[in-house]
């Protein structure tokens, strides 16, 4: 089941705040003793877990036993459980990607603040009921200190195990149209694609693929004459990918073909010019591995690379 199918199911099963309050009351009778837990780093903003250098990873961490210190933040309903706080110290401006994997726990959230979560400004947050990784990708930060909070809905009260990583972008060859790789010069009919680290530059109108395309982008280009056919197929994806063709990367309404489930572009050029093929992702910050297969005119010969498209029909 993909992310958007899960979201549709959620619409039919939304629980009221009152319902959750009742569930909490039933699970924790009045007068139940609260176990005393010794304070440790990360329990609150006064003693956060430090992130002094990048890349950073904290694997198999937990919020259990840390208490609910921040319950009135931009995470809304997702900050009622026990929370853990990190402090990210940057000596210079940096672009970062923060990935939080709740490892099976539902109803979790991640937020970044420019001060303590109870007083600082919320810069960005990711939350939801699904037990899927939450990614804040390509966030540009000035030098200074920032607070990252991991939290959840109040029932159950804590995240038993999670992974948090903070990384910086890798050098990526073709993240934008200005650096697009020419498919005809590359001369490959099929090749692997990995988009993580390419950042999020393009998100065309939903009618392009039928869905949003808010993930990280990688771009190829091809020059077509009017009447020439071009086809591309994305396969073997390990994330919710999308694929589309633009004529003008500064105009998100210039999409001429696109696909998401399945990721197929099949287009006959209506005018001479450059066309930009973009491998993207449905979810915000979505990225991963796939294989791109092309059927297009060969430069100079204007003949088909042939047969590839027919294999997918």
pLDDT given at position 227: 96
Determine the pLDDT at residue 297.
Answer: 79
> Which domains does the chain carry?
42-167 (2.60.120.380), 177-299 (2.60.120.380)
- Per DSSP bridges, beta strands 49-51 and 241-246 are unpaired
pLDDT tens, residue by residue, 101-157:
999 999 999 999 999 998 889 999 999 999 999 988 878 899 999 999 999 998 888
> Is the pLDDT at 3 greater than 60, yes or no?
no
Residue 19: asked if its preceding bond is cis (omega within 30°), the reply is: no
pTM above threshold 0.85 = no
**What is the pLDDT, as a whole number, of residue 210?**
93
Question: What CA–CA distance (Å, rounded) separates 108 from 111?
Answer: 10
| C-alpha pair distances (Å), 50 with each of 13, 53, 221 | 38, 9, 43
pLDDT band at 45 (very low <50, low <70, confident <90, very high): confident
Q: Which residues, 6 or more positions from 113, have their beta carbon under 8 angstroms from its beta carbon?
A: 73, 120, 121, 122, 123, 146, 147, 148, 149
User: What is the distance between the alpha carbons of residues 275 and 280, in angstroms, rounded to a whole number?
Assistant: 16
For the chain, percent helix, then strand, then coil, each to nearest 5? 10, 35, 50
The CA distance from 282 to 117, in Å, is 29
Write the pLDDT tens digit of every residue in 192-250. 998 988 889 999 998 999 999 999 999 999 999 999 999 999 999 999 999 999 999 99
Handedness of CA 71, 76, 81, 84 (dihedral sign): negative
pLDDT in tens, 280-300: 999 988 998 899 999 987 554
pLDDT over 90 percentage in the chain: 59
How confident is the model at residue 75, as a pLDDT? 93
Bridge partners (DSSP) listed for residue 280: 242
Higher-pLDDT residue of 12 and 213 is 213
Residue 310 has pLDDT above 80, yes or no: no
52-66 pLDDT per residue, tens: 888 899 999 999 998
């Amino acid at each position: 089941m993909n992310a958007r199918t899960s979201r549709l199911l959620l619409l039919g099963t939304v629980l009221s705040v009152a319902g959750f309050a009742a569930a909490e009351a039933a699970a924790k009778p009045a007068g139940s003793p609260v176990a005393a837990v010794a304070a440790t780093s990360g329990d609150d903003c006064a003693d956060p877990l430090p992130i002094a250098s990048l890349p950073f990873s904290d694997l198999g961490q937990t919020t259990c036993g840390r208490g609910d210190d921040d319950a009135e933040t931009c995470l809304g309903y997702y900050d009622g459980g026990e929370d853990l706080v990190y402090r990210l110290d940057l000596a210079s401006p940096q672009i970062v990607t923060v990935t939080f994997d709740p490892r099976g726990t539902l109803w979790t959230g991640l937020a970044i603040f420019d001060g303590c979560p109870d007083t600082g400004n919320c810069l960005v947050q990711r939350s939801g009921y699904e037990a899927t990784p939450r990614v804040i990708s390509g966030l540009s930060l000035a030098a200074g200190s920032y607070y990252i909070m991991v939290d959840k809905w109040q029932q159950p009260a804590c995240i038993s195990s999670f992974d948090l990583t903070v990384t910086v972008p890798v050098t990526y060859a073709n993240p934008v149209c200005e650096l697009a790789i020419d498919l005809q010069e590359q001369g490959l009919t099929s090749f692997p694609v990995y988009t993580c680290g390419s950042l999020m530059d393009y998100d065309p109108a939903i009618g392009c693929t039928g869905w949003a395309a808010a993930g990280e982008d990688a771009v190829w280009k091809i020059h077509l004459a009017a009447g020439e056919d071009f086809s591309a197929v994305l396969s073997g994806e390990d994330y919710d990918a999308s694929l589309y063709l633009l004529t003008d990367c500064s105009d998100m309404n210039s999409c001429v073909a696109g696909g998401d489930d399945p990721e197929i572009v099949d287009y006959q050029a209506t005018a001479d010019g450059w066309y930009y093929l973009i491998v993207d992702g449905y979810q915000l910050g979505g990225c991963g591995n796939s294989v791109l297969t092309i059927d297009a005119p060969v430069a100079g010969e204007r003949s088909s690379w042939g047969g590839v498209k027919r294999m997918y029909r």
